[in-house]
Amino acid sequence: MLQICELEAGYGQYRVLHGISLHVDEGEFVALLGANGAGKTTLMRAVTGLIPKAAGSVLLDGRPLADDPADIVQSGLVLVPEGRMVFPRMSVRENLLMGATVPRAHAARTRQLEMVLSIFPRLGERYAQLAATMSGGEQQMLAIGRALMSLPRMLMLDEPSLGLSPIMVQETFAVLKQLHASGLSLLLIEQNVVASLEMADRAYVLENGRITLEGGHAELMGNDRLRQAYLGL
């Protein structure tokens, strides 16, 4: 489904990603693990077209992805950005409608809105409320709901557990499992290693702008380096 080949990107002269290659198959749930500063968010910004790629390519269904963020969303690759980035002075309703901006999603917005509100009933209760006045957990639900409004064929999430209470993290991850079960392809970027490995089919480990490990749950949990670096075992 998604294939990233030898991707390099950075800011100005400063290169952050040194040739990232990874892939997510149709219907697969892949986790990308890495500490702060490993390059996770830069990778997401490069894949979604917010910053230019210095080298390498990103393919969706075997076809090269466009450069313009709007075209990328239209083709079905959608990101829930780090820090949620909901529109603070818009209501829940308006935030969700913002998700249905591209033509493909706009045409299906009524049906999709029902679907999102059935996954997140809380958003229905807060429908007219300004996003800024909601809790972090509710804002994360809104960010995911808004991304679902874009009709993703593949959803990427950049540290959705950041700053959430343990209960909200559990709730968020439960939603991800539910979306995975419904057939959506997922790329989850996390520092929360144990929980991510439990949910995901496969995982990559990103360190200093390079992929250093790759494998399934059992493989990675049995890997001494990973256990040392992230679990302190």
Partner 1 sequence: MATVLVLQAALQGLAIGAIIALIALSMTLLFAVCGLVNFAHGDFLALGMYGALLLAGVGVDPYLAAPAVLVVFVAIGALLFVVLVRPVQRSGLLAGAQLTLGLVFILENLMLIGFGGTHQTVRNVLSDRNLSLGGLVLPWQLVVAGLITGVLAMLLNIMIAHTSFGRHIRAITQNPDAAALMGVRINRVQMTAFALALGLLGLSGPLIVGQFTLTPDMGLDYTLRALIVMVLGGLGNFVGSFIAGLLVGVGESVATLFFGGAIGAMVPFGLLLAVLLLRPTGLFAQR
CB of 63 to partner 1, least distance (A): 18
Cα gap 172→135, rounded to integer Å:
14
Cα gap 30→203, rounded to integer Å:
5
Nearer to partner 1, 43 or 226 (CB): 43
| 196 touches 226 (CB < 8 A) | no
Helices 136-149 and 109-119, axial angle in degrees (round to 10) = 150
- The closest of 38, 36, 47, 32 to 204, measured between CA atoms, is 32
Nearer to partner 1, 110 or 218 (CB): 110
CB of 51 to partner 1, least distance (A): 10
Nearer to partner 1, 73 or 179 (CB): 73
Taking residue 111's Cβ as centre, other Cβ atoms within 10 Å add up to 10
Nearer to partner 1, 80 or 220 (CB): 80
CB of 48 to partner 1, least distance (A): 6
What's the full length of the chain, in residues? 233
At 159, the amino acid letter reads E
CB of 120 to partner 1, least distance (A): 18
Nearer to partner 1, 72 or 169 (CB): 72
- The closest of 36, 57, 64 to 190, measured between CA atoms, is 36
CB of 116 to partner 1, least distance (A): 14
Binding site for partner 1 (CB under 8 A): 48-50, 68-70, 73-74, 78-79, 81, 85-90, 94, 97-99, 101-102, 105, 132, 146, 150
